Amino acid sequence: MGKRLLLLLLPLVACDSRAPQNTTEIMSEAMSGNAAVAAEAGEPAAENASTAAANRPTSVTVGPMQVPYDAALLAPERVTLPLPPDWKAKAQGVKLIARERAELIGKAECIYGGSGEASRCNADQEAGLAFASLPAPFAEISGRIPADGRKSISLAGVEGVSWEIGAEGEGAEYILLPAGSGTALIVRQFRTAGNPDEAAIGTVLSDLRLKQEP
């Protein structure tokens, strides 16, 4: 009986431990989804991609970043982001979280971490996609990140770096992009529950615009 129960639980454990997708995978799926919708509607995929931002008027500006988002699924919240590599310095930013989670902010109804105890819901600990503008040059900040953890990433028309931290389905992916004399920081925080719609996050990333200094 015990062995039979163990065999039944194994698929569930495997499913729960599935590694979260990274930013590149999320963007790729979102773009594929947009292309499929365009094809079904009889519209060229290229035209659909170019008019996506125009059809979604809601956006937020964070430093040099213009961030369009679907207000039906996502909500912007002010947050404080700890900065790598020692996490002592902090920056003010904006995080897009699930619309239904935004309604819980300030209420003692959220469980963060493995304690199992409810605490006051706050945007800093919510899963979501955060943006901040840093005054330090890209080369300076990215040079502080250990080389063995860095990955190259192409986003908003520029080449940057990314790295991930966390385990057991909870953590964050940090992205640094050159933005003129400063640096754009993007943090995708993920949890085992309460994550915003992945397709909506992918569309935000694929439609992100980064203004460069002349």
CATH of the domain at 141: 3.40.1000
- Is residue 5 included in any domain, yes or no? no
**Residue range 184-198: mean pLDDT, rounded:** 94
Domain presence at residue 83: yes
The β-bridge partners of 59 are 68
pLDDT for 40:
52
Give percent of the chain above pLDDT 70: 77
Domain that holds residue 29: 20-210
pLDDT at 27: 77
Residue 34 in any domain: the answer is yes
Nearest in space to 20 (alpha carbons), one of 207, 165, 214, 185: 165
Residue 197 is assigned to a structural domain of this protein: yes
Q: What is the pTM of this model?
A: 0.79
Residue 1 within a domain: no
Q: How many domains does the chain have?
A: 1
What contacts 24+ positions apart, CB below 8 Å, involve 150-159?
153/23, 153/24, 155/23, 155/27, 155/186, 155/205, 155/208, 156/65, 156/184, 156/208, 156/209, 156/210, 157/210, 158/210, 158/212
Indicate whether 9 belongs to any domain: no
- Say if CB 101 and CB 121 are below 8 A apart: yes
pLDDT at 143: 92
**Tens digit of each residue's pLDDT (9 = 90 or more) over 78-103:** 999 999 778 899 999 999 999 999 99
5 pLDDT above the threshold of 60: no
Domain assignment present for residue 15? The answer is no
H/E segment holding residue 10: helix 2-16
Q: What is the pLDDT of residues 103-147, one digit of tens each?
A: 999 999 998 877 778 999 999 999 999 999 999 999 999 998 888
58-74 confidence digits (pLDDT tens): 999 999 999 999 999 99
| pLDDT-based confidence at residue 35 (cuts at 50, 70, 90) | very low
177-to-55, 143, 163 alpha-carbon distances in Å: 26, 12, 12
**Tokens matching residue 192:** 């085992």
Which pLDDT score is estimated for 119?
92
User: For residues 38 and 122, which has the higher predicted lDDT (pLDDT)?
Assistant: 122
Is 19's pLDDT higher than 60? no
Contacts with 41 (C-beta within 8 Å, 6 or more apart), sequence order: 48
pLDDT for res 24: 78
ω into 85 cis (within 30 of 0): yes
**30 vs 145 pLDDT, higher one:** 145
- 50 has a pLDDT exceeding 80: no
Q: Is residue 128 part of a domain?
A: yes
